[in-house]
Amino acid sequence: MEFVLKAHMPGLVARVVVEVGEKVEKNQELAVINCMKTEMSCLSPEAGVIKEILVAEWDEMDIGSDMIILEG
Amino acid sequence: MIKVINGGIEILVEDWPGRIGYMGLGMAAAGAMDNLALQLGNLIVGNDTGAAGLEIAGGYCEFEFTAAGVISITGADMSPTINGSNVPLWEAIAVKTGDKLKLDHIGEAGFRAYLAVRGGIDVPVYLGSRSTCLFGSYGGFEGRKLAVGDDLPALPSDGTADGIAGRKLNPKYIPAYTNVWELRAIPGPNSVPDYVSEAGMDYFFSTTMKISHNANRAAYRLEEVPAEFWARPDGGAGGSHPSNIVDHGYNMRGAINVTGNTPSILIADGPTLGGFVCVANVINADLWKIGQGIPSRDKVTFTAVTVADGIAARLERQAMFEADDLLIG
Protein backbone atom coordinates (compact mmCIF):
# COMPACT_ATOMS: atom_id res chain seq x y z
CA MET A 1 0.00 0.00 0.00
CA GLU A 2 1.24 3.48 -0.85
CA PHE A 3 2.04 6.05 1.76
CA VAL A 4 3.60 9.49 1.64
CA LEU A 5 6.32 11.17 3.66
CA LYS A 6 5.02 14.63 4.47
CA ALA A 7 7.01 17.63 5.68
CA HIS A 8 6.79 18.14 9.43
CA MET A 9 8.16 21.70 9.37
CA PRO A 10 8.10 24.66 7.01
CA GLY A 11 11.48 25.24 5.39
CA LEU A 12 13.64 24.31 2.43
CA VAL A 13 14.62 20.82 1.35
CA ALA A 14 18.32 20.50 2.21
CA ARG A 15 18.66 17.08 0.60
CA VAL A 16 16.98 13.75 -0.08
CA VAL A 17 19.15 10.90 1.17
CA VAL A 18 17.41 7.92 -0.50
CA GLU A 19 16.88 6.80 -4.09
CA VAL A 20 13.94 5.31 -5.94
CA GLY A 21 13.80 1.56 -5.39
CA GLU A 22 15.63 1.68 -2.07
CA LYS A 23 14.24 -0.33 0.85
CA VAL A 24 13.88 1.71 4.04
CA GLU A 25 13.01 0.97 7.66
CA LYS A 26 10.50 2.75 9.86
CA ASN A 27 12.06 5.94 11.32
CA GLN A 28 14.92 5.89 8.80
CA GLU A 29 15.97 9.35 7.62
CA LEU A 30 14.70 9.93 4.09
CA ALA A 31 15.27 13.66 3.67
CA VAL A 32 16.39 16.75 5.53
CA ILE A 33 14.58 20.09 5.88
CA ASN A 34 16.49 23.26 6.63
CA CYS A 35 14.66 25.66 8.96
CA MET A 36 15.79 28.03 11.72
CA LYS A 37 19.36 27.49 10.44
CA THR A 38 19.03 23.91 11.67
CA GLU A 39 18.75 20.66 9.77
CA MET A 40 15.72 18.55 10.65
CA SER A 41 15.47 14.89 9.69
CA CYS A 42 12.35 13.66 7.93
CA LEU A 43 11.86 10.08 9.05
CA SER A 44 9.96 7.36 7.26
CA PRO A 45 6.64 6.75 9.00
CA GLU A 46 6.74 3.05 8.03
CA ALA A 47 9.04 0.48 6.45
CA GLY A 48 8.76 0.33 2.66
CA VAL A 49 10.32 0.94 -0.74
CA ILE A 50 10.90 4.37 -2.24
CA LYS A 51 8.52 4.72 -5.18
CA GLU A 52 8.79 8.37 -6.19
CA ILE A 53 10.71 11.40 -4.95
CA LEU A 54 8.57 14.52 -5.31
CA VAL A 55 10.99 17.16 -4.07
CA ALA A 56 14.38 18.56 -4.99
CA GLU A 57 17.00 20.52 -3.12
CA TRP A 58 15.81 24.05 -2.13
CA ASP A 59 12.13 23.29 -2.74
CA GLU A 60 10.05 25.15 -0.18
CA MET A 61 7.97 22.98 2.15
CA ASP A 62 5.06 23.77 4.41
CA ILE A 63 3.71 21.42 7.04
CA GLY A 64 2.06 18.53 5.28
CA SER A 65 3.75 19.05 1.90
CA ASP A 66 4.18 15.74 0.07
CA MET A 67 7.86 14.79 -0.18
CA ILE A 68 8.31 11.12 -1.04
CA ILE A 69 5.90 8.33 -2.06
CA LEU A 70 6.67 4.91 -0.61
CA GLU A 71 5.20 1.44 -1.20
CA GLY A 72 4.60 -0.46 2.03
CA MET B 1 7.99 17.86 37.64
CA ILE B 2 8.32 17.60 33.84
CA LYS B 3 10.19 14.83 32.08
CA VAL B 4 10.81 15.04 28.34
CA ILE B 5 9.65 11.99 26.40
CA ASN B 6 10.05 13.57 22.96
CA GLY B 7 12.14 16.72 22.59
CA GLY B 8 10.45 17.85 19.36
CA ILE B 9 12.01 20.65 17.36
CA GLU B 10 13.28 23.08 19.99
CA ILE B 11 12.25 23.31 23.65
CA LEU B 12 14.02 25.83 25.88
CA VAL B 13 13.72 27.17 29.39
CA GLU B 14 13.07 30.90 29.11
CA ASP B 15 11.99 33.63 31.52
CA TRP B 16 11.32 37.34 31.13
CA PRO B 17 12.88 39.88 30.76
CA GLY B 18 15.86 37.61 30.37
CA ARG B 19 19.48 38.34 31.23
CA ILE B 20 19.60 42.11 31.39
CA GLY B 21 22.75 44.17 31.83
CA TYR B 22 25.44 42.15 30.07
CA MET B 23 25.27 43.33 26.48
CA GLY B 24 28.41 45.35 27.10
CA LEU B 25 30.15 42.02 27.65
CA GLY B 26 28.70 40.60 24.46
CA MET B 27 25.93 38.60 26.14
CA ALA B 28 22.49 38.79 24.57
CA ALA B 29 19.50 39.14 26.86
CA ALA B 30 17.89 35.87 25.66
CA GLY B 31 14.40 35.51 27.22
CA ALA B 32 11.09 34.36 25.79
CA MET B 33 10.59 35.03 22.08
CA ASP B 34 6.89 35.62 22.83
CA ASN B 35 7.09 37.33 26.19
CA LEU B 36 3.35 38.05 26.15
CA ALA B 37 2.34 34.37 26.05
CA LEU B 38 4.87 33.43 28.74
CA GLN B 39 3.79 36.25 31.05
CA LEU B 40 0.09 35.50 30.62
CA GLY B 41 0.75 31.80 31.19
CA ASN B 42 2.53 32.61 34.42
CA LEU B 43 -0.31 34.82 35.66
CA ILE B 44 -2.84 32.08 34.90
CA VAL B 45 -1.05 29.63 37.24
CA GLY B 46 -0.43 32.27 39.90
CA ASN B 47 3.24 33.00 39.21
CA ASP B 48 5.01 36.29 38.81
CA THR B 49 4.91 37.27 35.14
CA GLY B 50 8.61 36.64 34.60
CA ALA B 51 8.90 33.09 36.00
CA ALA B 52 10.74 30.55 33.87
CA GLY B 53 8.65 28.29 31.65
CA LEU B 54 9.20 26.14 28.60
CA GLU B 55 9.30 27.70 25.14
CA ILE B 56 8.21 25.14 22.55
CA ALA B 57 9.03 26.02 18.95
CA GLY B 58 7.47 23.97 16.18
CA GLY B 59 5.70 21.43 18.40
CA TYR B 60 6.02 17.64 18.06
CA CYS B 61 6.88 16.95 21.66
CA GLU B 62 5.72 14.95 24.65
CA PHE B 63 6.21 15.24 28.39
CA GLU B 64 5.42 13.16 31.45
CA PHE B 65 4.66 14.84 34.74
CA THR B 66 6.76 13.35 37.53
CA ALA B 67 4.90 15.31 40.21
CA ALA B 68 1.43 16.77 40.59
CA GLY B 69 1.00 20.44 39.87
CA VAL B 70 -0.81 23.12 37.93
CA ILE B 71 0.19 24.13 34.42
CA SER B 72 -0.96 26.38 31.63
CA ILE B 73 -0.33 26.19 27.90
CA THR B 74 -0.33 29.47 26.01
CA GLY B 75 0.87 30.82 22.68
CA ALA B 76 0.48 28.90 19.43
CA ASP B 77 -2.18 26.20 19.34
CA MET B 78 -0.42 22.86 18.82
CA SER B 79 -3.50 20.81 19.70
CA PRO B 80 -2.29 19.82 23.17
CA THR B 81 -3.60 16.63 24.80
CA ILE B 82 -3.18 15.13 28.24
CA ASN B 83 -3.46 11.34 28.28
CA GLY B 84 -5.00 11.58 24.79
CA SER B 85 -7.74 14.07 25.66
CA ASN B 86 -7.76 17.61 24.30
CA VAL B 87 -6.93 20.32 26.80
CA PRO B 88 -7.56 24.06 26.44
CA LEU B 89 -5.02 26.82 26.00
CA TRP B 90 -4.94 29.91 28.22
CA GLU B 91 -6.32 27.98 31.23
CA ALA B 92 -4.86 26.54 34.44
CA ILE B 93 -4.87 22.74 34.33
CA ALA B 94 -4.24 20.41 37.28
CA VAL B 95 -1.91 17.53 36.42
CA LYS B 96 -1.00 14.46 38.41
CA THR B 97 2.02 12.22 38.48
CA GLY B 98 2.20 10.08 35.34
CA ASP B 99 0.06 12.34 33.17
CA LYS B 100 1.38 12.66 29.63
CA LEU B 101 1.18 15.96 27.77
CA LYS B 102 1.57 15.83 24.01
CA LEU B 103 1.79 18.69 21.51
CA ASP B 104 1.26 18.20 17.78
CA HIS B 105 2.62 20.35 14.95
CA ILE B 106 1.91 24.05 14.59
CA GLY B 107 -1.47 25.10 13.22
CA GLU B 108 -2.60 27.86 10.90
CA ALA B 109 -0.95 30.61 12.91
CA GLY B 110 1.70 30.92 15.60
CA PHE B 111 5.05 29.15 15.99
CA ARG B 112 5.79 28.97 19.71
CA ALA B 113 3.79 27.57 22.62
CA TYR B 114 4.63 28.16 26.27
CA LEU B 115 4.24 25.78 29.16
CA ALA B 116 4.08 27.51 32.53
CA VAL B 117 4.09 25.51 35.75
CA ARG B 118 2.95 26.81 39.10
CA GLY B 119 6.10 27.87 40.93
CA GLY B 120 8.13 28.18 37.74
CA ILE B 121 10.76 25.89 36.24
CA ASP B 122 13.67 25.36 38.63
CA VAL B 123 16.97 25.75 36.84
CA PRO B 124 19.95 27.69 38.22
CA VAL B 125 19.80 31.47 38.04
CA TYR B 126 22.80 32.53 35.97
CA LEU B 127 23.65 36.23 35.92
CA GLY B 128 20.18 37.11 37.07
CA SER B 129 18.11 34.94 34.74
CA ARG B 130 17.00 31.37 34.11
CA SER B 131 16.79 31.96 30.34
CA THR B 132 18.67 29.81 27.87
CA CYS B 133 20.95 31.64 25.47
CA LEU B 134 21.01 28.92 22.86
CA PHE B 135 23.84 30.37 20.81
CA GLY B 136 25.98 31.05 23.85
CA SER B 137 25.25 27.62 25.38
CA TYR B 138 24.58 29.08 28.82
CA GLY B 139 21.61 29.54 31.12
CA GLY B 140 18.43 27.48 31.20
CA PHE B 141 18.85 23.72 31.41
CA GLU B 142 22.55 22.99 30.87
CA GLY B 143 22.70 25.78 28.31
CA ARG B 144 20.91 23.76 25.64
CA LYS B 145 17.56 22.76 24.22
CA LEU B 146 15.80 19.94 26.04
CA ALA B 147 16.26 16.31 25.03
CA VAL B 148 14.68 12.96 25.80
CA GLY B 149 15.04 12.03 29.48
CA ASP B 150 15.56 15.55 30.85
CA ASP B 151 13.58 15.98 34.07
CA LEU B 152 12.96 19.53 35.22
CA PRO B 153 11.75 20.34 38.72
CA ALA B 154 9.38 23.16 39.60
CA LEU B 155 10.11 25.70 42.29
CA PRO B 156 7.87 25.66 45.37
CA SER B 157 5.05 28.17 45.03
CA ASP B 158 3.73 30.59 47.58
CA GLY B 159 0.32 29.85 49.01
CA THR B 160 -2.15 27.18 48.07
CA ALA B 161 -2.90 25.88 44.61
CA ASP B 162 -6.55 25.42 45.63
CA GLY B 163 -8.88 27.07 43.18
CA ILE B 164 -6.24 27.82 40.60
CA ALA B 165 -7.04 24.92 38.29
CA GLY B 166 -9.74 26.05 35.87
CA ARG B 167 -8.73 29.70 36.04
CA LYS B 168 -8.77 31.15 32.52
CA LEU B 169 -7.53 34.14 30.67
CA ASN B 170 -10.47 36.38 29.81
CA PRO B 171 -10.96 35.63 26.08
CA LYS B 172 -10.88 39.30 25.21
CA TYR B 173 -7.20 39.37 26.21
CA ILE B 174 -6.13 36.37 24.13
CA PRO B 175 -3.67 37.79 21.59
CA ALA B 176 -4.78 37.77 17.95
CA TYR B 177 -2.68 35.46 15.80
CA THR B 178 -2.19 35.90 12.08
CA ASN B 179 0.13 35.08 9.19
CA VAL B 180 0.91 38.72 8.44
CA TRP B 181 2.29 40.40 11.53
CA GLU B 182 2.13 44.17 11.82
CA LEU B 183 5.18 45.35 13.74
CA ARG B 184 5.28 48.91 14.97
CA ALA B 185 8.81 50.26 14.61
CA ILE B 186 10.66 53.45 15.43
CA PRO B 187 12.94 54.61 12.56
CA GLY B 188 16.65 54.81 13.32
CA PRO B 189 19.33 55.01 14.47
CA ASN B 190 20.75 54.54 10.94
CA SER B 191 18.01 55.64 8.59
CA VAL B 192 17.04 58.54 6.37
CA PRO B 193 18.75 60.70 5.12
CA ASP B 194 22.29 59.59 5.99
CA TYR B 195 22.02 55.87 5.29
CA VAL B 196 18.67 55.11 3.70
CA SER B 197 16.91 57.06 0.96
CA GLU B 198 13.42 58.53 1.32
CA ALA B 199 12.27 55.96 -1.22
CA GLY B 200 14.01 53.26 0.81
CA MET B 201 12.16 54.14 4.01
CA ASP B 202 8.90 54.38 2.09
CA TYR B 203 9.60 50.90 0.74
CA PHE B 204 10.42 49.59 4.19
CA PHE B 205 7.23 50.90 5.75
CA SER B 206 4.95 49.87 2.89
CA THR B 207 6.15 46.42 1.84
CA THR B 208 5.00 43.08 3.19
CA MET B 209 8.12 40.97 3.69
CA LYS B 210 8.22 37.21 3.95
CA ILE B 211 10.09 35.62 6.87
CA SER B 212 12.96 33.47 5.59
CA HIS B 213 13.50 29.87 6.61
CA ASN B 214 16.68 31.31 8.17
CA ALA B 215 14.80 32.67 11.16
CA ASN B 216 15.70 31.62 14.68
CA ARG B 217 16.25 33.02 18.16
CA ALA B 218 19.13 35.21 17.00
CA ALA B 219 17.52 36.84 13.99
CA TYR B 220 14.44 36.72 11.79
CA ARG B 221 15.75 37.20 8.26
CA LEU B 222 13.43 38.89 5.75
CA GLU B 223 13.25 39.37 2.00
CA GLU B 224 15.85 41.60 0.37
CA VAL B 225 15.34 45.32 -0.12
CA PRO B 226 16.03 46.86 -3.58
CA ALA B 227 19.24 48.76 -4.37
CA GLU B 228 17.28 52.04 -4.30
CA PHE B 229 16.88 51.48 -0.56
CA TRP B 230 20.24 53.08 0.10
CA ALA B 231 21.14 56.77 0.29
CA ARG B 232 24.61 56.06 -1.14
CA PRO B 233 24.40 54.63 -4.65
CA ASP B 234 27.92 53.22 -4.84
CA GLY B 235 29.89 50.63 -2.87
CA GLY B 236 29.17 47.38 -4.66
CA ALA B 237 28.38 44.14 -2.89
CA GLY B 238 31.36 43.71 -0.54
CA GLY B 239 32.75 45.57 2.41
CA SER B 240 32.04 48.94 0.81
CA HIS B 241 28.33 48.19 0.40
CA PRO B 242 26.32 51.01 2.01
CA SER B 243 25.02 48.68 4.73
CA ASN B 244 28.54 48.69 6.25
CA ILE B 245 29.27 51.30 8.90
CA VAL B 246 31.69 51.67 11.79
CA ASP B 247 30.94 49.03 14.44
CA HIS B 248 28.34 50.08 16.98
CA GLY B 249 26.21 48.52 19.70
CA TYR B 250 22.90 47.10 18.49
CA ASN B 251 19.69 47.79 20.34
CA MET B 252 18.48 45.03 22.64
CA ARG B 253 15.75 43.07 20.78
CA GLY B 254 13.85 44.31 17.78
CA ALA B 255 16.63 46.12 15.89
CA ILE B 256 16.13 45.80 12.14
CA ASN B 257 19.65 45.22 10.94
CA VAL B 258 20.43 45.25 7.22
CA THR B 259 23.45 43.31 5.94
CA GLY B 260 23.95 43.82 2.25
CA ASN B 261 20.38 44.15 1.03
CA THR B 262 19.01 41.60 3.53
CA PRO B 263 17.10 42.89 6.57
CA SER B 264 17.00 40.81 9.75
CA ILE B 265 15.14 41.51 12.95
CA LEU B 266 17.63 40.94 15.76
CA ILE B 267 15.94 39.25 18.68
CA ALA B 268 16.47 37.26 21.87
CA ASP B 269 19.89 35.69 21.29
CA GLY B 270 20.98 38.16 18.63
CA PRO B 271 24.33 39.90 18.30
CA THR B 272 25.09 42.75 20.67
CA LEU B 273 27.16 44.79 18.23
CA GLY B 274 28.38 44.84 14.67
CA GLY B 275 29.14 46.96 11.66
CA PHE B 276 25.85 47.07 9.80
CA VAL B 277 23.08 49.64 9.83
CA CYS B 278 20.02 49.31 12.03
CA VAL B 279 17.29 51.18 10.18
CA ALA B 280 14.48 50.87 12.73
CA ASN B 281 13.54 49.14 15.97
CA VAL B 282 10.38 47.16 16.75
CA ILE B 283 8.72 48.51 19.88
CA ASN B 284 8.77 46.44 23.06
CA ALA B 285 4.99 45.87 23.00
CA ASP B 286 5.23 44.12 19.61
CA LEU B 287 8.29 41.92 20.21
CA TRP B 288 6.03 38.95 20.98
CA LYS B 289 4.72 38.92 17.43
CA ILE B 290 8.17 38.16 16.04
CA GLY B 291 8.34 35.02 18.18
CA GLN B 292 5.07 33.81 16.70
CA GLY B 293 6.11 34.40 13.08
CA ILE B 294 6.41 31.09 11.25
CA PRO B 295 9.69 30.80 9.32
CA SER B 296 9.29 30.22 5.60
CA ARG B 297 5.55 30.95 5.77
CA ASP B 298 4.51 34.13 7.59
CA LYS B 299 5.08 37.74 6.58
CA VAL B 300 5.67 40.98 8.43
CA THR B 301 4.83 44.61 7.78
CA PHE B 302 6.34 47.58 9.54
CA THR B 303 4.38 50.62 10.70
CA ALA B 304 6.32 53.77 11.63
CA VAL B 305 5.67 55.01 15.14
CA THR B 306 7.29 57.48 17.52
CA VAL B 307 9.08 56.88 20.81
CA ALA B 308 5.98 58.29 22.53
CA ASP B 309 3.82 55.73 20.73
CA GLY B 310 6.16 52.96 21.91
CA ILE B 311 5.96 54.13 25.51
CA ALA B 312 2.16 54.40 25.32
CA ALA B 313 1.90 50.86 23.93
CA ARG B 314 4.13 49.56 26.71
CA LEU B 315 2.00 51.29 29.38
CA GLU B 316 -1.14 49.86 27.76
CA ARG B 317 0.39 46.38 27.98
CA GLN B 318 1.25 46.90 31.65
CA ALA B 319 -2.30 48.06 32.34
CA MET B 320 -3.61 44.87 30.75
CA PHE B 321 -1.50 42.72 33.09
CA GLU B 322 -3.01 44.61 36.03
CA ALA B 323 -6.62 44.62 34.78
CA ASP B 324 -9.21 43.33 37.26
CA ASP B 325 -10.91 41.25 34.58
CA LEU B 326 -7.73 39.67 33.17
CA LEU B 327 -8.49 36.25 34.66
CA ILE B 328 -11.81 34.48 35.03
CA GLY B 329 -12.58 31.96 37.75
CATH of the domain at A61: 2.40.50.100
By the CB < 8 Å criterion, does B214 face chain A?
Answer: yes
Q: Which residue of chain A has the CA closest to B221?
A: A36
By the CB < 8 Å criterion, does B296 face chain A?
Answer: yes
Q: Tell me what pLDDT residue B238 has.
A: 84
Identify whether B233 is preceded by a cis peptide bond (ω within 30 of 0): no
Identify whether the C-beta of residue B172 lies closer than 8 Å to the C-beta of residue B137: no
Q: Tell me what pLDDT residue B163 has.
A: 82
State the Cα–Cα distance between residues B147 and A54, nearest whole angstrom.
Answer: 31
Compute the average pLDDT of residues B196-213: 97
* pLDDT tens column, B205-241: 999 999 999 999 999 999 999 999 999 999 888 889 9
User: Measured between CA atoms, how close is A27 to chain B, in angstroms?
Assistant: 14
By the CB < 8 Å criterion, does B297 face chain A?
Answer: yes
Contact A12 B213 (CB under 8 A): yes
Cα B98 from chain centroid? 30
Q: Tell me what pLDDT residue B239 has.
A: 87
**How does the average pLDDT of chain B come out, rounded?**
96
Residue B3's contacts (CB-CB under 8 Å, 6 or more residues apart) are: B63, B64, B65, B66, B149, B150, B151, B152
Cα B60 from chain centroid? 19
Q: Taking CB atoms and an 8 Å cutoff, what residues of chain A touch B8? A: none
User: Measured between CA atoms, how close is B218 to chain A, in angstroms?
Assistant: 10
Q: How confident is the model at residue B273 (pLDDT cuts 50, 70, 90)?
A: very high
Q: Taking CB atoms and an 8 Å cutoff, what residues of chain A touch B215? A: 36
* pLDDT tens column, B174-189: 999 999 999 999 999 9
State the Cα–Cα distance between residues B108 and B111, nearest whole angstrom.
Answer: 9
State the Cα–Cα distance between residues B88 and B128, nearest whole angstrom.
Answer: 32
Candidates B24, B104, B110, B47; CA nearest to B74 is B110
Q: Taking CB atoms and an 8 Å cutoff, what residues of chain B touch A35? A: 58, 213, 295-296
Angle B35-44/B307-321 helices, nearest 10 degrees?
20
By the CB < 8 Å criterion, does A63 face chain B?
Answer: yes
Q: Taking CB atoms and an 8 Å cutoff, what residues of chain B touch A10? A: 213, 294-297
* pLDDT tens column, B10-64: 999 999 999 999 999 999 999 999 999 999 999 999 999 999 999 999 999 999 9
User: Measured between CA atoms, how close is B45 to chain A, in angstroms?
Assistant: 30
Q: Which of B211, B213, B214, B290 to mutate to test the interface with A (most CBs of A within 10 A)?
A: B213
State the Cα–Cα distance between residues B8 and B102, nearest whole angstrom.
Answer: 10
Contact A35 B10 (CB under 8 A): no
* pLDDT tens column, B85-120: 999 999 999 999 999 999 999 999 999 999 999 999
Nearest to B296 among A8, A10, A38 (CB): A10
Q: Tell me what pLDDT residue B236 has.
A: 84
Task: Give the helix/strand (H/E) hosting B276.
Answer: strand B273-282
- Which parts of chain A have pLDDT scores under 50? none
The b/e string for B35-51 (b: 16+ C-beta within 10 A; e otherwise) is: bbbbbbbbbbbbbebbb
ipTM rounded to 2 decimals: 0.86
Give residue limits of the domains in chain B: 2-169, 180-319
Contact A38 B10 (CB under 8 A): yes
pTM for this predicted structure: 0.95
The length of chain B is 329
Q: Tell me what pLDDT residue A40 has.
A: 93
Q: How many domains does chain A have?
A: 1
Q: Tell me what pLDDT residue A27 has.
A: 94
Q: Which residue of chain B has the CA closest to A40?
A: B9
Compute the average pLDDT of residues B65-81: 97
**Can you count the helices (H) and strands (E) in chain B?**
4, 21
Q: How confident is the model at residue B142 (pLDDT cuts 50, 70, 90)?
A: very high
Q: Taking CB atoms and an 8 Å cutoff, what residues of chain A touch B216? A: 36-38
Q: Tell me what pLDDT residue B157 has.
A: 80
Q: How confident is the model at residue B159 (pLDDT cuts 50, 70, 90)?
A: low
CATH code for residues B180-319: 2.40.100.10
Domain that holds residue A36: 2-71
Q: Tell me what pLDDT residue B197 has.
A: 97
Contact A36 B214 (CB under 8 A): yes
